[in-house]
Amino acid sequence: MTSSSKPKSSNAMWGGRFADGPDAIMEAINASIGFDRRMAAQDIEGSRAHAAMLAAQGIITDSDAEAIREGLLTVLSEIETGSFKFSTALEDIHMNVEARLRELIGEPAGRLHTARSRNDQVALDFRMWVRDQVDAALGGIVALQKSLLSQAEAGADWVMPGFTHLQTAQPVTWGHHMLAYVEMLGRDHSRFADARARMNESPLGAAALAGTSFDIDRDATAAALSFDRPSANSLDAVADRDFALDFLSAASICAMHLSRLAEELVIWSSAQFRFVALSDRFSTGSSIMPQKKNPDAAELIRAKVARIFGANTALIMVMKGLPLTYSKDMQEDKEQTFDAADNLMLALAAMTGMVADMAPQKENLEIAAASGFSTATDLADWLVRTLDMPFRDAHHVTGSLVKLAEDKGCDLPDLDLADMQSVHAQITEAVFDVLGVHNSVASRTSYGGTAPSEVRKQIARWKEKLQ
């Protein structure tokens, strides 16, 4: 559209006050039906609860409530089967549903909006939509944890290099590494669960902003819609979008965790590492290089955090300057939240499949674990324990031994005793026991450590928890 077109002659919604219809550009910027139709089910569920409450309170008749109930079910099935005609002139899902209800049942439809406003209606619909997404995220996280746990169990005692700065640090077990992500996802799960508990208050009945003079029963609608309680302040109820921000920030942190795992899979599946082989089902080929098997799913998961965190930032920016209560700015809460939710669910599902399918390369992991002087700390600890050396001195002696091995082009266990004693005379043959990677990991039995015995305890704990 390059210029605004002529106003329509009449107004579809506010005929009483408005003589003219909106400019086409106004309609384009104002309408949300293009996206908020995704909340149709929540909108209709909320309206059904509201109508039932109005009848129970004697505010509308039982027969009107019954007509509304039947009509709303028809509207829902029309939307579900795709026969519903959405109208941009009717702005949003709320007005679209109500207008169709009026076509279907006539006058009683006009009574549905008694003691309600689109402000509490949209706050309700969106809250219920987000709550459903929280539940989906909780389920998706558990599924991924189970995938990781199976991997951990299969390789509880396999050794691999543990890294800091992406430099070989100390040998760790594969199971331990998998469980690190199970822990992260456990915190993500609790963040979503916290968000759910906090958001589970019903705004319905706050009406436009001040509550209503009708004798409504907010406890009844809250209970009917599975909320813990009605919200206690009507102004806050229509102005609040914290629930979406709670969801988006939990989603951002979860997506960040997925991105870190994705990054590891990208590195591990490279020809230089060969720690894991990704399945054909979760990789792609190259159109020119026949040898290639690309970790596209991992790369896309790594990128998803950008748009999810972007949605979080966008909504905070939308909200930060708004005076109480509702402002139309808040209509911009939905699209990005929808997009973030869709992409989080996709990322969780793709990661779950990729982890379940991937084949860790036990031998390559073990070879890598033993290289890069990975047991230098074990050697220093041995000097402390056996020769009662202060750790700082042991660190220095070990550094000299690493240098010696490096000069000789070998690894620490390849030095002979004479080499060792040339650096420190009291070193004995027993030192070689701690230089092997399996002994190294087996010795790290401190709580939460990488020893297979500890890893198995943690696996058992998580298995019970995730049942």
The catalytic site residues sit at 165, 286
Closest C-alpha to 442, from 169, 162, 157, 160: 157
- Contact flag: residue 201 with ligand ARG (CB under 6 A): no
- Contact flag: residue 336 with ligand ARG (CB under 6 A): no
Q: Stretches 192-200, 270-278, 323-331, 339-347: which one binds ligand ARG (CB under 6 A)?
A: 323-331
CB 100 within 8 A of CB 75: yes
Torsion of CA 458, 461, 463, 464, to 10 degrees: 180
Q: Binder to ligand ARG among 43, 92, 188, 264 (CB under 6 A)?
A: 92
In angstroms, rounded to a whole number, what is the distance separating the alpha carbons of residues 49 and 46? 5
- Contact flag: residue 96 with ligand ARG (CB under 6 A): no
CB 75 within 8 A of CB 93: no
Q: Binder to ligand ARG among 48, 50, 100, 118 (CB under 6 A)?
A: 118
- Contact flag: residue 405 with ligand ARG (CB under 6 A): no
Task: Write the single-letter amino acid at 96.
Answer: N
The neighbouring-strand residues paired with 231 are: none
Smallest gap from Cβ 281 to ligand ARG, in A, equals 39
Tokens read off for 216:
């409504």
Please give the size of the binding site for ligand ARG, defined by CB under 6 A. 10
Question: What φ, ψ does residue 160 adopt, rounded to 5°?
Answer: -150, 165
Smallest gap from Cβ 24 to ligand ARG, in A, equals 18
Strand-pair category, 229-230 with 201-202: parallel
Q: Binder to ligand ARG among 32, 168, 170, 269 (CB under 6 A)?
A: 32
For 243-280, letters b (16+ CB in 10 Å) and e give bbbbbbbbbbbbbbbbbebbebbbbbbeeebebbbbee
Contact string (CB under 6 A) for ligand ARG, positions 33-62, x = contact: ---x--------------------------
Tokens read off for 8:
């329509």
- Contact flag: residue 133 with ligand ARG (CB under 6 A): no
Could you check whether the bond before residue 325 is cis, i.e. omega within 30 degrees of 0?
Answer: yes
- Contact flag: residue 240 with ligand ARG (CB under 6 A): no
Smallest gap from Cβ 13 to ligand ARG, in A, equals 10
Q: Stretches 41-49, 134-142, 153-161, 325-333: which one binds ligand ARG (CB under 6 A)?
A: 325-333
Smaller CB separation from ligand ARG, 97 or 278: 97
- Contact flag: residue 128 with ligand ARG (CB under 6 A): no
Contacts of 314 (CB under 8 A, 6+ apart): 332, 336
Smaller CB separation from ligand ARG, 328 or 408: 328
In angstroms, rounded to a whole number, what is the distance separating the alpha carbons of residues 9 and 7? 6
Closest C-alpha to 115, from 249, 206, 10: 206
Smallest gap from Cβ 132 to ligand ARG, in A, equals 17
Smallest gap from Cβ 42 to ligand ARG, in A, equals 12
CA angle, 348 then 255 then 135, to 5°: 55
Closest C-alpha to 360, from 196, 60, 153: 153
Smallest gap from Cβ 319 to ligand ARG, in A, equals 13
- Contact flag: residue 331 with ligand ARG (CB under 6 A): yes
Q: What share of the chain is helix, strand, coil (3-state, %, to 5)?
A: 65, 5, 30
SS3 225: coil
Q: Binder to ligand ARG among 122, 180, 266, 368 (CB under 6 A)?
A: 122
- Contact flag: residue 330 with ligand ARG (CB under 6 A): yes
Smallest gap from Cβ 90 to ligand ARG, in A, equals 10
Q: Stretches 144-152, 224-232, 295-303, 328-336: which one binds ligand ARG (CB under 6 A)?
A: 328-336
Q: Stretches 117-125, 273-281, 413-421, 454-462: which one binds ligand ARG (CB under 6 A)?
A: 117-125
Under the rule (CB under 6 A), what is the footprint of ligand ARG? Answer: 32, 36, 92, 118-119, 122, 326, 328, 330-331
